[in-house]
Amino acid sequence: MKAVQIVELTGPDTALRVGDLPEPDPSHMLSPGSGVVVDVHAAGVSFPEVLQTRGEYQLKPPLPFVPGSEVAGTVRSAPEGAAVKEGDRVAAFCGLGGFAEIAVAPEFLTFGLPDALDFAQGAGLILNYHTAVFALQLRGRLDAGETVLVHGAAGGVGTAALQVAKGLGARTIAVVSSAGKEEVARAAGADEVVRSDGPWKDEAKELSGGGVDVVLDPVGGDRFLDSLRALREGGRVVVVGFTGGSIPEVKVNRLLLNNTEVVGAGWGGYVMSKPQANREIGAVVERLVGDGYVHPLVGARFPPEQAADALKLIEGRAATGKVVLEFRR
């Protein structure tokens, strides 16, 4: 099968090789001896793969390895008792091995792909949307009628968070860095859009009538203090990632003064050992697809041979929505 491997840790330009590899066994490291084998149509590309080309991600498999955490395609084989069967269209989270014509995922991280979504959209369904549901609903305790501010709102997690928040009945304020990204955030359902290079904190406070209930933050960096200041009493900043580069520090007296919270949301660490939690989050995502709220925005599609370009698009902050590699059309 055709696959893209990381062969050295020298960054997106030089780290990747496309080649022929043996087909994988129907076994996944999270479910040894068992796994759903998927004929991959599209593989999702995300920030962690950029980091993996430099050995900077927490998951550091020995070289060479096939990166790619999530795919969409059709089931080639499934273990007995699985919720999916041969021929089904699925979205699957494989962790690694997704940048290939055939990938393997645990049964509890494989979900039927709703007819409303194509394979490229399916390749953007799990990491971003399951994270958005987990971060907003489970960790941020977002309620209908509350206001949520989303940083990096034109990105993968950001667009997913906007759609999920609308589906949960919240009002949304998107923070983005350019006019092009403003359009993307609006297409994802942002009620209001503010610019990260402007007085976004004051604008957000005004737009929300005194402060937002939840900030979803995949960016981190310098803006973190203003995120805390943008909260109303009882508000929560949900920490999702650090695309801005630096990891912020909090002086906890700020939390005390305004009765606010900083909450961590690490989707992978939470759900990998909890099949039932995955099914519950999957059911919320499926309902939101059915209700028309969730429809992954696919920003750019590349053939496997151009995987480096896909990674560089993300690294260069130019990606909008989901970036995918197409293995079958």
- Site residues (vs ligand NAP, CB under 6 A): 46-48, 127, 131, 152, 154-158, 176-177, 181, 196, 218-219, 240-245, 265-268, 314, 317, 319
Q: How crowded is residue 77: how many other Cβ atoms within 10 Å of its Cβ?
A: 13
Q: How far is the CB of 23 from ligand NAP (least distance, A)?
A: 28
- Alpha carbons 138 and 159: distance in angstroms, whole number: 18
Q: How far is the CB of 177 from ligand NAP (least distance, A)?
A: 3
Q: How far is the CB of 60 from ligand NAP (least distance, A)?
A: 15
Tokens read off for 125: 């369904």
Cβ proximity to ligand NAP: between 267 and 293 the closer is 267
Reference 45, options 324, 328, 329; nearest CA is 324
CA angle, residues 48, 275, 92, in degrees to nearest 5: 45
- Alpha carbons 228 and 225: distance in angstroms, whole number: 5
Q: CB burial class (10 A; 0-12, 13-18, 19+) of residue 291?
A: exposed
Q: How far is the CB of 130 from ligand NAP (least distance, A)?
A: 8
Cβ proximity to ligand NAP: between 48 and 296 the closer is 48
Closest-by-Cβ residue to ligand NAP is: 155
Cβ proximity to ligand NAP: between 89 and 181 the closer is 181
Q: How far is the CB of 314 from ligand NAP (least distance, A)?
A: 5
Cβ proximity to ligand NAP: between 56 and 86 the closer is 56
Helix, strand, coil tally for the chain in percent (to 5): 30, 25, 40
Q: How far is the CB of 120 from ligand NAP (least distance, A)?
A: 15
Q: How far is the CB of 151 from ligand NAP (least distance, A)?
A: 7
Cβ proximity to ligand NAP: between 116 and 247 the closer is 247
Cβ proximity to ligand NAP: between 176 and 288 the closer is 176
- Alpha carbons 190 and 277: distance in angstroms, whole number: 28
Cβ proximity to ligand NAP: between 84 and 132 the closer is 132
Cβ proximity to ligand NAP: between 23 and 56 the closer is 56
Give the orientation angle of helix 156-167 with respect to helix 275-290, to 10 degrees.
Answer: 70
Classify the C-alpha dihedral 64-68-69-73 as positive or negative: negative
Contact assessment for residue 300 and residue 326, using Cβ atoms and an 8 Å cutoff: no
Q: How far is the CB of 194 from ligand NAP (least distance, A)?
A: 11
How many Å separate Cα 176 from the centre of its chain?
Answer: 17
Q: CB burial class (10 A; 0-12, 13-18, 19+) of residue 25?
A: exposed
End-to-end CA distance of the chain: 16
